[in-house]
Structure 1
Amino acid sequence: MNILIVGSGGREHSLAWKIKQSPKVKEIYIAPGNGGTASLGQNIPVSVDDIPGLVALAREKNIGLVVVGPELPLVLGLSDALDRENIPCFGPGAYAAQLEGSKAFSKFLMAEAEVPTAGFKVFEDFALAEEYLKARDYPLVVKADGLAAGKGVVVATDFAEAREALHDMMVKQVFGKAGETVVIEDALQGEEASFLAFCDGHDYLLLPSSQDHKRIGENDTGPNTGGMGAYSPAPVLPQEKYEETAHQVIRPIIQHLAEMGRPFKGILYAGLMFTQYGPKVLEYNVRFGDPECQPLLMRLESDLVEIMLACVEQRLKDVTLKIRPEAGVCVVLSADGYPKQYKKGHVITGIDEAEKDSLVKVFHAGTSFDGSNILTSGGRVLGVTALGQNLQEAISRCYTAADRINFQGMYMRRDIGQKGLEKT
């Protein structure tokens, strides 16, 4: 069949790489794609928020399955629009996608489904929210309700910091409509992990645990980014705890949405904090994480297309996930200045050299191809991903490969996976 992948980042390159391995695949189209996906299929310049354009493309190319990478098209209703055209889509409908598209919706749904999460209050009025902040102990978390490119969350250590965040979101509207409603919640203490599951609306299959590194600087310092690296498995969530944790944070949401007549089909991603009281959900995402997707797909032995079709066709109980026993690590190579201002158009060298190791794959994120050279075109440029017999070996292999790559202003964190080593 022909497959359309929606998106342009490292996650989408890794999806295209894994999907290409399936015997079920004829042609792959990526909208809009990047310099890496161009070698696996045909990039089509349709934006991820152009729902009519994506539906028209799926019709034109006789697409048998649409795989949605980022959250925005799902929140905008791409899955529903494709469903009306009888085109299968791996990704939830707009209602269920509010789990990521609206933090208030997500928190209320967690409360209804009795999922463990931080205490919270939702505000649509600045003055009322400000009064609430005055009466609270700190730290507190202030979140813009809507999608804010991963930047609408502030952990405030005192009233002044919380008020500034609130003012930015509700009055200055730095995130536009996303900040018209805010969620203020208790700050949770502990270690984070990402826990993803394939879902068909009723059943689910669990992927291995992973851990993302959000901040730009080593030892988790500096501003948040889209993610500077990830590793899997995460020792904070060992395999023997997967089912128990899923019963707390995955199953209740799947069951609740099914009972509402809004079955969730796709990837449910629970961002967890492991507190002294057990795991609590920080947030839900409705798609693969980026860069968690890269090491997870490197570890996945099963046919990804078969799993996705089973989700869409609600027959996941007939499928078994095969996971490689090795650990996986992804280190993001970013442009100098990211996540703020950065320059584009620098020539990238050394990718072929890095990939001479058969257990290394370099996934493109912010790249373009000018006919002869791969160029930087984004803040997160590449995701060097490697497998190893254990986490230490995977980390070493990953950094050895990353050091073979070069472009002007290249930056990477040197401590990806260290938290995992400290626990093993």
Structure 2
Amino acid sequence: MAERVGILVVSYGAREVAMIDAFLRSTNYNVEVYVADKQRNPFNAKNAKAHVVIPDLNVEAICKFAEAHKDRIDFGIVGPEKPIIEGVRDLVEKRAGIPMICPTKEYAIEASKVQQRLLFQEAVPEVNPRFKIFRQEEFKTAEDARKTLYKWLDELGNMAVVKPDKPAAGKGVGVWGDHFTTREQLFEHFWENLRHGAVIVEEKIEGEESSFQAFCDGKHLVPLP
């Protein structure tokens, strides 16, 4: 008889549905999933041993759900970045004693694109594009910011990507040629984001993009298929 294993899944969308589907197809374990969903996903609701909808995926509500089922949960996995950034692993591990597969709050580099770039600059600078960090407090007026930005665009030949420091659910990044074709359009996007925090303006690089993902326990790195 297959060994039972209980898995807490913090779910946002299709990615987590794919995870749950893979867990349930395991031939080595009898899997039970306990799902904290951003919205009611029919597949998740049907297949979960316990299911809860938490629209804002706040970590306190996720932790309470985990605590309620902690005797049946062996580990948890988190897909969306918001609860990771807000420290869901720290809270669930501390209060429910459930080991979580996701970064701690301290190491959630998704929280800051500025810190990502600075980390790369320190560790592997050759992988970084040319970039410049802008902060609103550096400028007295919007016109001051515009002049500094346009000077940087001169160096980049306008081929730039504008990225807000903080996560914006995929809506913050603007790319020259896709989201704007004039400097004025780029500046409007830049200035709107700058009002909410630091902004990176970096060199646009053409080419194919690929992702590499792996599990790591701090000592071992296991690539995913």
TM-score (norm. length: structure 2): 0.81
| Aligned ranges 1:23-422 → 2 under 5 Å | 23-32=28-37, 33-41=40-48, 42-47=50-55, 49-62=57-70, 63-85=73-95, 86-97=97-108, 99-115=109-125, 116-125=127-136, 127=142, 129-135=145-151, 136=153, 137-156=157-176, 157-171=181-195, 179-208=196-225
Give 1 or 2: higher helix fraction.
2
Distance in 1 between residues matched to 2:223 and 2:162, nearest whole Å:
30
Match of 2:15 among 1, 11, 15: 11
For 1:100 and 1:198, how far apart are their aligned partners in 2?
Answer: 17
Question: Could you tell me how far 1:108 is from its partner in structure 2?
Answer: 0.7
Q: What's the RMSD between the two structures over aligned residues? A: 1.9
Q: Distance in 2 between matches of 1:25 and 1:72?
A: 30
- Matches of 1:199 and 1:18, distance apart in 2: 20
Q: Which has the higher contact order (CA 8 A, sep 6+)?
A: 1
Q: What letter corresponds to residue 146 of structure 1 in structure 2?
A: K
**In structure 1, C-alpha distance between the alignment counterparts of 2:8 and 2:30, rounded to whole Å:** 11
Alpha carbons of structure 1 residues 201 and 11: separation in structure 2 relative to 1, 3 Å: same
For 1:10 and 1:38, locate their aligned partners in 2 and report how far apart those are by CA, in whole Å: 13
Q: In 2, distance between residues paired with 1:199 and 1:129? A: 41
Give the TM-score normalised by structure 1: 0.45
* Identity between Structure 1 and Structure 2 (%): 32
Q: 1: CA distance between counterparts of 2:184 and 2:34? A: 49
- Considering fraction of residues, name the structure with more strand: 1
Q: 1:122 Cα shift?
A: 1.2
Q: CA deviation at 1:48?
A: 5.2
In structure 2, relative to structure 1, the CA distance for the partners of 1:4 and 1:165 (3 Å cut) is same
- The answer on whether the counterparts of 1:119 and 1:186 sit within 8 Å (CA) in structure 2 is yes
Paired residue total: 200
- Residues 112 and 129 (structure 1), Cα distance of their counterparts in 2 relative to 1, 3 Å cut: farther
Displacement of 1:26 in angstroms is 4.4
Distance change (3 Å), C-alpha of 1:48 and 1:18: farther
> Contact 1:130 / 1:163 at 8 angstroms: preserved in 2?
yes
Unaligned runs of 5+ in 2: none
